[in-house]
Structure 1
Amino acid sequence: MKIFIDSANLQQIRHLIENYQIEGVTTNPSILAKEKEDYWDVLKQIQTIIGRERPLFVQTLSETADEMVQEAENIVQTLGGKIYIKVPAVKEGYKAMKELNKLGINTLGTAIFTAQQALMCANCGIQYVAPYVNRIDQLSGDGVGVVADIVKLFNTFQLQTKVLAASFKNVNQVHKCSLAGAHSITASPDIIEALHEHPSSIISVEGFSKDWQKRFGVINCK
C-alpha cells in the first residue's frame, strides 16, 4: 500500500519525505488555505521537496465542468511535473472527469461517500478515487466497508482505477483499509508518524542498549 501525505505544511512534508517511504502529496483548498504563503508558491515548494517525479494532487474549485477543465489545464501548465487533478464526485464533476480523460490529464475523483459513486467515477476513465473514510463513519456509515466494496467492484469489472482512501482519524482505520485492499492512503502527518511507530519498539531498543552497556560499558560495536 502506498502512502501519500495529506498536507501543505512544508516543514512536515520535508520531514516525512526524508524519513519514510512516501509516494507523493495530496492537497485540497482547505489544506492550502491554512498556509500563510501564496498557494502557487506553496505548491511549487512542495514540488521542490518531493521532486517532480512524485505525484502532487491539486483540487479544482470551479463549479461548472467547463471551468473545472480550464482550471485543470492551467494547474498542469503552471506546475508541470506529475500533477493529478482532484475533481469532486458531483454532476458537473463527472462531466469534467470525462473531458479530462480525453485530454490525457491525470485525475482523481474526490469527496466520495459511496462505492457506487466510486464506480461511476472509474467509468469516466480516471486514475484514482478517494473515499472519505472517517467522514463516512461520522454519518453513521461504514467507511472501511465502503473502501472494501470499491475494491471488490474494481476487481469484479477489472478496472484500472486505484483506491486512494482519505479522511482518517486514527491508525486503526488505515490498518483496516489496508486489509480491505486499498491501493493507497493519504493521511495527515501525525497519522503517518503513528503508522511507523509503537511505544513497545522504543522500550525494546532501550532495553537492548541497557543490557549491552551493563556487559560492555559503551555502545560501540567496532
Structure 2
Amino acid sequence: MELFIDSADIEELRRCVAGGLVDGVTTNPSLVAKTGRPFHETVVAICELVGGPVSAEVTATDAAPMLEQARELAALHEHVVVKLPLTRDGLQTCRALADDGIKTNVTLCFSAVQGLLAAKAGATYVSPFIGRLDDIGQAGMDLIRDLRQVYDNYGFETKVLAASIRHTEHLLQAALAGADAATIPAGVFDKLLNHPLTDSGLERFLADWKKAGL
C-alpha cells in the first residue's frame, strides 16, 4: 500500500518522510492556505522534499479553465499529480489529461458508480472519502470494497486512494479491503508507530539489560 501524508506543512512533512516510510503527499487549497506561503512555491517545495506523487488541486469548476490550471500545475514538477473534483467537468478534464499522459487524482468520490466513471476517464487515483461517509451514517469502508471489486472486474488500472481517514483503524480496514493507497494526517501517521505493549516491552528489555550489568 502506498502511504501518503495529507498536509502542506513543510516541517510536518519533513518529520514524516524522514524514516523513508512515506510515498507521497496530498494537498488541497485549504491546507496550502494555512501555511501562508504561495501555492505554486509550496507545491514545488513538497515535491522536492518527498520525491514521490504530490496531489495538487485545481480551483476552477468549469472544464476549460480547469484544464488550463491543471496543465499549469503539471508543469511545476514531475511529481505533481493533478487533483480534480468528481464532476462532469472534472472528468472531462481528467480524460484530456490522461490522453496526454498527465497523472490525476479524482477526489470527492462517494459512490462506486462515481468511481467507475473516474476510472473510465483514465484517473490515476480515485479518492473515496471514508470518514465523511461515516459522518452521515453510511459505511465508508463499503465503498473501498465496492471500488476494489469493480476495478478488478474490468481490469481498470486506476488506484483506490482511501481518503478522509480519521484514525488507525480506518487505515487497517482500508488495507484489508484492498485499497492501493491511503492518505492520512500526520497525527494518524504518528499513531501507527505507537503501541503500549511495544513501549512496556522496550522498558523491560532495557531494565533487564541494566540488571545484568551489560
Short-chain TM bin? over 0.9
Residue 76 of structure 1 corresponds to which residue in structure 2? 74
Residue identity (%): 30
Question: The residue matched to 2:146 in structure 1 has which SS?
Answer: helix
Q: 1:173 deviation in Å?
A: 0.9
Q: Distance in 1 between matches of 2:189 and 2:151?
A: 26
Question: The residue matched to 1:62 in structure 2 has which SS?
Answer: coil
Pick from 162, 168, 178: which aligns with 2:159?
A: 162
Question: The residue matched to 1:168 in structure 2 has which SS?
Answer: coil
Pick from 180, 200, 203: which aligns with 1:203?
A: 200
Within 5 A, what are the aligned runs for 1:174-185? 174-185=171-182
> For structure 1, which runs of at least 5 residues remain unmatched after alignment?
none
1:140 aligns with 2:137: yes
Q: Does the Cα contact within 8 Å between 2:47 and 2:77 map onto a contact in 1? A: no
1:186 aligns with 2:183: yes
Residue 109 of structure 1 corresponds to which residue in structure 2? 106
Q: Does the Cα contact within 8 Å between 2:58 and 2:66 map onto a contact in 1? A: yes
Q: Structure 1 residues 20, 200: closer, same or farther in 2, change over 3 A?
A: farther
Residue 25 of structure 2 corresponds to which residue in structure 1? 25
Q: Distance in 2 between matches of 1:26 and 1:203?
A: 34
Question: The residue matched to 1:110 in structure 2 has which SS?
Answer: strand
Listed one character per residue, the Cα deviations across residues 108-157 of structure 1 (whole Å, up to 9, x for unaligned) are 11000111111110011111100000001111111111011100110111
Aligned residues: 214
* Bigger radius of gyration among the two: 1
Question: The residue matched to 1:34 in structure 2 has which SS?
Answer: helix
Within 5 A, what are the aligned runs for 1:32-71? 32-51=32-51, 54-71=52-69
One-letter identity of the residue aligned with 2:172: H
Q: 1:24 deviation in Å?
A: 0.7
Q: Distance in 1 between matches of 2:161 and 2:7?
A: 15
One-letter identity of the residue aligned with 2:27: T
Q: Does the Cα contact within 8 Å between 2:162 and 2:174 map onto a contact in 1? A: yes
Q: Distance in 1 between matches of 2:166 and 2:85?
A: 21
Q: Does the Cα contact within 8 Å between 2:47 and 2:79 map onto a contact in 1? A: no
Q: 1:20 deviation in Å?
A: 4.1
Q: 1:104 deviation in Å?
A: 1.6
> For structure 2, which runs of at least 5 residues remain unmatched after alignment?
none
Q: Distance in 2 between matches of 1:2 and 1:150?
A: 17
Residue 9 of structure 1 corresponds to which residue in structure 2? 9
Question: The residue matched to 1:141 in structure 2 has which SS?
Answer: coil
Structure 1 segments (4+ residues) deviating >2 Å: none
Residue 214 of structure 1 corresponds to which residue in structure 2? 211
Question: The residue matched to 1:164 in structure 2 has which SS?
Answer: strand
Q: Distance in 2 between matches of 1:87 and 1:42?
A: 18
Q: Distance in 2 between matches of 1:189 and 1:130?
A: 18
Q: 1:196 deviation in Å?
A: 2.1
Q: Distance in 2 between matches of 1:30 and 1:62?
A: 14
Q: Distance in 1 between matches of 2:96 and 2:2?
A: 27
Listed one character per residue, the Cα deviations across residues 74-124 of structure 1 (whole Å, up to 9, x for unaligned) are 1112x1222110111012111111111122211111000111111110011
Residue 90 of structure 1 corresponds to which residue in structure 2? 87
Q: 1:190 deviation in Å?
A: 0.6
